[in-house]
Amino acid sequence: MLVSQQHASCFIPVTVILTVMLTLMGCSPENTHYQQPNGIIYCSEGNPASFNPQLDTSGTTVDVSSHQIYDRLLDFDLITGEIIPGLASSWITSTDGLTYTFQLRKNIVFHSTSYFAPTRTFDADDVIFSFNRWRDKNHPYHEVSGGRYPYINSVGLGDLISDIKRINRYRVEITLVRPESSFLANLATDFSIILSAEYADQLAKADTPELIDTHPIGTGPFKFNSFRQDRYVRFDAHPLYWRERSTTEQLIFDITPSSSLRLAKLMTGECDSMAFPTHSQLDIIRKRKELTLDEKPGLNVGFWAFNTAKAPFDNPEVRRALAMAIDKNALMEAIYFGSAIPATSIIPPSSWAFQPDTRSSTYNPLGAAKLLRENGVEEGFSMTIWAMPVERAYNPNAMKMAELMQRYLRDVGIDANIVSYEWSTFRARLNQGLHDSVLIGWSADNGDPDNFFRPLLTCSAIDSGTNRARWCSKEYDKLIDQALTYTNQEDRAYFYSKAIEMINDEMPLMPIAHAFRYQAYRDNLTGIEINPYGGIQFRNVSKP
Amino acid sequence: MLKIILRHASLLILTLFVLSFFSFSLAYLFPGDPLVNLTGIRGSSEQEYALLAEQYAMHSSFIVQYWQYVMHLFSGNWGLSFSSGLPLAEEISRSLAASVELSAYALIFSFLIGLPLGFLSGLRHHKFTDFTLLTASVIGYSIPVFWAALIAILIFSIQLGWFPLSGRISLLYDVPFETGFILIDILLSDLPDKEFAFQDALRHLVLPSVSIAIVTCTIVLRITRRSIVEVMSSEYIQAAYARGLSPRQVFLRHGVKNALIPILPLLVMQFTTLLTNAMIVETIFSWPGIGNGLIQAIYQRDFPAIRAGMLAVSALVLTFTITIDMVIQIFDPAGRRPENATS
Amino acid sequence: MPRLNLYQEEYYPSPIQNTWKEFKENHAALLSLYCVIFFIFLMIFGPFLAPYDPLQQNIDLLLVPPAWDNNGDISYLFGTDGLGRDMLSRIIYGCRMTFGISLVLVIISMLVGVALGAMAGMSKGLRSSVVNHLLDSIMAIPTLLIAIIIIAIVGTGLVNSMWAISLALIPQFIHQTRDIVRQKMKKEYVLAAQLDGAGKIHIFFNSILPNMAEMLVVQVTLALSVAILDISALGFLNLGAQAPSPELGALLSEGLTTAYVAPWNIALPGAAIFFMMMSINLVGDGLRSALRYRLLR
């Protein structure tokens, strides 16, 4: 009696709910592509520290800003590596190598946003402003946003340029203090961007000069829309961009620090491309039909740097001993999964300065322990290994590498503690020299070997923050400077080989690996190319 | 009735004061300068610091400082976050709205499923349907909510590709902030492709709310079942049958009402459990809610944000609980509700 | 002459025996009881059962699938994780940690809660209703929320999370105990004991506690399942047990990074938590039903 009639009255609400649910779920289950507005979402790995790459060398800042918001005087051709015209349509070098004259393009329009409307096109004033900002310590904008220009200072561009002259509205002349063959390459890096002098004037009058780096204006293919910390950066297309570009109307950087989440979003289509696939993810990406993986050998090096300003790491024998305690080949498999080659020096094999027969440290734990004891490092000595929290091509998982190294160090009686912070906090503290040793690396900004030797180990690079070993050797600096006075590759290579020998003797850092560079994206994306010399470019990228 | 309202109102105000006092003293309990912890402004110059110290009465006694703090809270100045530098009041209200929206939809969903199934199970007491539903409910109740969310993502998002797994809506839609409830905001805004945006937001809602709702669904089921079983064995039901009403009429006219009313407060109380589960699940689905915000603040040691988030969440939960309690007491003074039990 | 015993002595089972008889009838609950015993066994003998050291990293054997997969290896029954650690050993140690810690926490909270609740229940009239209502309000907040808030203040870490959860569980015990003690104080046998001159403590331990015991056991199973969920939730959120600790929630969170290559890193620890909770819930349910029906059959 109770059973039959209750049946009906109870099942009605249930069926109603089921139908509602099915309608809510949309149409057929195969419907994964639904109408979306025109735009590209890129899963990036962290927050940019600023929107001006002059102020920061971090790959995150460069990726977001350099090729999206800005242009440079010169650019690198992505395939050949040659220097091609950018905002400068042509240039002439004087015979003594001291004077460069650049002819600037006409009719290039700056961004028009809610906070700025340009009244004139790009001209020499913008070039002069962009250079003098970092060159001239008394420039009103020099100290704005910190006054540190790490890349530029680490290559010594400020001291290299003696004068910049405006010849006419579209002609600029730059004079150097001495001839330097890497000068043009430095102008094509991600960091030599051109800002808007008119915008700078407007901000100075409103007494809000720091907005130039947080609400940027440039000539690049995308203009800044908004930034929400830890969430996203929004860009809109610049309709009056001077080069040809794709039809994409929006570009969004979806900030996702967790790499497995990035991969998940790439697989479901919530991101069209992702930053830094870890090596364990490469196989998955290759197997999936709708994803594509591009790879190119990279100009990078991952290393373990010792803080040579702190005892006992100021003793080269201690450093060599620590390097002997680690089995680099084991790290290759566990961290890089075979997508990197062990490094014998800081220069990768793809560079012309590479020396194939360099002897580097070999794995010898007994010898390491002996050397440590001889130099006063007893059992139970405790040191910190700072592991960077972000992935980079040169070190996809510094935390895991540090854990593995902990084991090796324990075998020689050293107690290692792993230290890490959020990325910008991490770099800020590294700059203060609080570390004993750090797992970090370097990606080249141009094809010139000077771009490895100078920013990593010269004395002036300590202040700019790229010399993590805080190593200062006058002989080394001399070798590097001398190499620049010659234009012949063989002559330069001689000095660089001497520098490599010195690094291996003194071991301020232990080079670990040179990695391949990868780009993972969904099949329907076209126009995306790996940039071996710097940040990602979305100018030509589009989705049908 | 006035007495009830007064009693609860005074309890609410007392609890809120205790909470705010606690959150104020956190500024001292956390490491670092208390004024910096209160305002969230770091690296200010001498004059700015002195000015802030004036505003927060740092040189007076503890009680005066506390009073200043409360004044600031009321005027909407909850300080700035260490990591983003943005005013906390705005951030917290946005995240709170996001979490409440998620929990609300999950609650509705669990009612829609749990109530009918609970009725079914209660009416088939100790029969086969009852046992299957009970078993299902124990299974659902024992699943850790974060595991359920992860498995749901693995199957429905990655494997089958039916639903997205992060955020409230695709980033390509820039929905302006009005109420903080995204479905309403979409309808209120003037986006060109509203229906698509709405559909997109719904798709993003499904997986998180279902994973949270599973646990609550089972609790609702069990509570309803127990209530129905008790009601159907009571005397007035027997009397109704004796009068000749059909089972369906008995159920609809007497059963439903008398079963639901005593448990309504219990059911609504599930909101707080839902909110807590939502806070965990938010981290998995990158939902920009208060749970995600609070946990990120804990990782980054963002003390002002921890303080403000904690105050906001506890204040919300306590206000909700006390208000519901008050409403119950107003409408059901006999206090017929059963013990706080889950079966 | 041998006496003929025509009637067997009447046999009155004690309440506990009644409860046990009723409990035994419920097959699901009985099975879960065996599961719980199994977990306790694991907890005590885990280190002897685990084939490998849970912290031992093995670079050559990263992400090996479980033994029932084609690429699996029988010596690694549940496969290995991203650093080459054996999942079976990690899960055994993890169960040990999660279950053991929850047990310890519940016992501590129970002792403190019952003591406080008894004191509150036995002292008369002076407790203002404000404190009672405050307690009720706090009880309405889910324990995980209280735990997260406490952790936000004192910082992350396993020990801090243990304090947080045990603090969060105490109000439940206080409330239950106080209610029951209040009820029992009105009974006649307590009155009789008081008239006999028994002191408060004597009354509590001899008259009230034995009658409370079953309620307490039910409460303990409830609290245990809540504690397991909370400990693993905090471990999952990295607010409690930190890597490389093998706690089950922390295992889940570590498994996330390799979830698509190696779904067993998520499925297996989660399943362990699920079984633990289900068995405890079923035992608790069975107990409650048994207590309710023991006198009705």
pLDDT digits (tens, 9 = 90+) for A31-55: 444 556 788 999 999 989 889 999 9
Higher pLDDT, residue A19 or A508: A508
Please name the residue of chain B whose CA is at the shortest distance from the CA of residue C231: B144
Percent of chain A exceeding pLDDT 90 equals 31
pLDDT per residue as tens digits for the range A180-224: 777 888 888 888 999 999 999 999 999 888 899 999 999 999 999
* Percentage with pLDDT > 70 across chain C: 91
The whole-chain average pLDDT of chain B stands at 82
The answer to whether the CB atoms of A36 and B196 lie below 8 A apart is yes
Q: How far are the Cα atoms of B215, C75, C82, C83, C88 from residue C61, in angstroms, in the given order?
A: 37, 11, 9, 8, 14
**What would the two tokens of residue A369 be?**
């322990």
Q: Rounded to an integer, what distance in angstroms lies between the CA atom of residue A227 and that of residue A52?
A: 14
User: For position B10, what pLDDT does the model report?
Assistant: 85
Measure in Å the smallest separation between the Cα of C133 and chain B Cα atoms.
8
Examine the pLDDT at A93 and tell me if it is beyond 60. yes
Q: What is the ipTM of this complex?
A: 0.83
Q: The tokens of B50 are what?
A: 């002195």
Mean pLDDT of C19-33: 83
Mean pLDDT score of chain C, rounded to an integer?
Answer: 82
Q: What is the pLDDT of residues C32-56, one digit of tens each?
A: 889 889 988 888 888 888 888 878 7
pLDDT digits (tens, 9 = 90+) for C280-297: 988 888 888 888 776 665
Answer whether 0.90 is exceeded by the pTM.
Answer: no
More confident residue, B253 or C191: C191
Amino acid C4: pLDDT:
64
Chain C closest-CA separation from residue B310 CA (Å): 6
Tell me what the mean pLDDT of segment A489-505 comes to: 88
pLDDT computed for residue A294 by the predictor: 87
Q: How confident is the model at residue A500 (pLDDT cuts 50, 70, 90)?
A: very high
Share of chain A above pLDDT 70, in %: 93
Measured between CB atoms, does B184 come within 8 Å of chain C?
A: no
The confidence score (pLDDT) of residue A540 equals 86
Instruction: Note whether C152 contacts B306, CB cutoff 8 Å.
Output: yes
pLDDT tens digits for range A308-353: 988 888 889 999 999 999 988 888 888 887 788 888 888 887 777 8
User: What amino acid occupies position C145?
Assistant: L
Q: Which of B12-26, B165-179, C127-141, C259-273 has the lowest mean pLDDT?
A: C127-141
- For the segment B200-225, what is each residue's pLDDT rounded down to a tens digit? 888 899 999 999 999 889 888 888 88
- Shortest Cα–Cα distance, B30 to chain C (Å): 7
pLDDT of residue A305 exceeding 90: yes
Alpha-carbon Rg for chain A, nearest whole angstrom, is 26
What average pLDDT does this structure show over A455-464?
Answer: 86
Cα A53 to Cα A388: distance, rounded to the nearest angstrom: 20
Nearest by Cα to A117 from A198, A194, A178, A45? A198
Nearest residue of chain B to residue C133 (CA atoms):
B11
Which residue(s) pair with A384 in the sheet?
Answer: A417
Closest Cβ–Cβ partner in B112, B158, B202 for A267: B158
What does the pLDDT read at residue A31?
41
- pLDDT beyond 90 at C117: no
CATH number of C22-294: 1.10.3720.10
Q: Which amino acid is at B104?
A: A
- Which of C149, C233, C288 is opposite residue B314, by nearest beta carbon? C149
C238 touches chain A (CB under 8 A): no
In chain C, what residues touch B273 (CB-CB under 8 Å)? Answer: 142
CATH code for the domain defined by B89-299: 1.10.3720.10
A470: left (phi > 0), else alpha (psi -120 to 50), else beta? left
* Chain A with chain C: Cβ pairs closer than 8 A: 36
Contact A399, A389 (CB under 8 A): yes
- Rounded to an integer, the average pLDDT of A141-170 is 87
Cross-chain Cβ contact A264/C244 below 8 Å: no
| Partner-chain residue, chosen from A6, A24, A35, that has the shortest CB–CB distance to B196 | A35
Both ends of chain B: CA-CA distance in Å?
31
Residue A104 is predicted with a pLDDT of 93
Average pLDDT, rounded, for chain A: 85
What pLDDT does residue B191 have? 78
Q: Which residue of A has its CA nearest to B83?
A: A229
Chain C: residue whose CA lies nearest to B28: C153
Separation CA B225–CA B119 (nearest Å): 6
Q: What is the pLDDT of residue C179?
A: 81
Contact C233, C111 (CB under 8 A): no
Best of A45, A274, A276, A280 to mutate (most C CBs within 10 Å, chain C) = A280
A264 to C62: CB separation less than 8 angstroms, yes or no: no
The verdict on a CB contact (< 8 Å) between C149 and B317 is no
Task: Output phi, psi for A281, to 5 deg.
Answer: -90, -15
- The beta-carbon neighbor of B298 closest among C144, C151, C285 is C151
Q: Which chains touch C (3 or more CB pairs under 8 A)?
A: A, B
In this predicted model, what pLDDT tens digit does every residue of B98-130 receive, in sequence order? Answer: 999 999 899 999 889 888 888 888 888 888 888
The pLDDT of residue A234 is above 90: yes
- CB count in 10 Å sphere of residue A440: 23
Tell me how far apart the alpha carbons of residues C248 and C271 are, in angstroms, rounded to a whole number: 10
Q: Kindly report, residue by residue over B264-308, the tens digit of the pLDDT.
A: 777 777 888 888 889 889 988 889 888 888 888 888 888 888 888
Burial readout A254-278 (b: 16 or more C-beta within 10 A, e: otherwise) = bbbbebbbbbbbbbbbbbbbbbbbb
> Per-residue pLDDT tens for A125-137?
999 999 999 988 8
Residue A304 clears pLDDT 90, i.e. is over it: yes
pLDDT over 70 (residue A175)? yes
Q: pLDDT tens digits, residue range C209-232? A: 777 877 888 889 889 988 999 999
**C188: closest CA among C216, C211, C217?**
C211
Regarding predicted confidence, which is higher, A20 or A437?
A437
Q: CB distance B272–C141 less than 8 Å?
A: yes
CA C286 to chain centre: 15
pLDDT band at A17 (very low <50, low <70, confident <90, very high): low
Does C149 reach chain A within 8 Å, measured CB to CB?
Answer: no
B222: which residues sit within 8 A by CB, 6+ positions away? B118, B134, B137, B141, B342, B343
- Tens of pLDDT, residue by residue over C3-15, are 666 666 777 777 7
In sequence order, which ranges of B143-255 are alpha helices (DSSP H)? 145-152, 182-188, 194-232, 235-243, 247-249
> Cβ A407–C83 below 8 Å, yes or no?
no
* Per-residue pLDDT, A7: 43
| Strand ranges for A291-413 from DSSP E | 291-297, 300-306, 340-342, 381-387
Q: Which residue would you say has higher pLDDT here, B120 or A122?
A: A122
Query: Which residues have CB under 8 Å from B44's CB, separation 6+?
Result: B52
**Contact A258/C59, CB-based, under 8 Å?**
no
Has residue C78 got a pLDDT over 90? no
Residue C249: list chain B partners with CB under 8 A.
146
| φ, ψ of residue A526 in degrees (nearest 5) | -120, 155
Rounded distance between C-alpha atoms, residue A225 and residue A250, angstroms = 10
Domain boundaries, chain C: 22-294
Instruction: Please write the tens of the pLDDT for every residue from C155-208.
Output: 888 888 898 898 888 888 888 888 888 888 888 888 888 888 878 778 778 777
Answer whether C251 touches B (CB < 8 Å).
Answer: no
Which residues in chain B are closer than 8 Å to A32, comparing Cβ atoms? Answer: 161-162
Where are chain B's structural domains?
1-83+304-343, 89-299
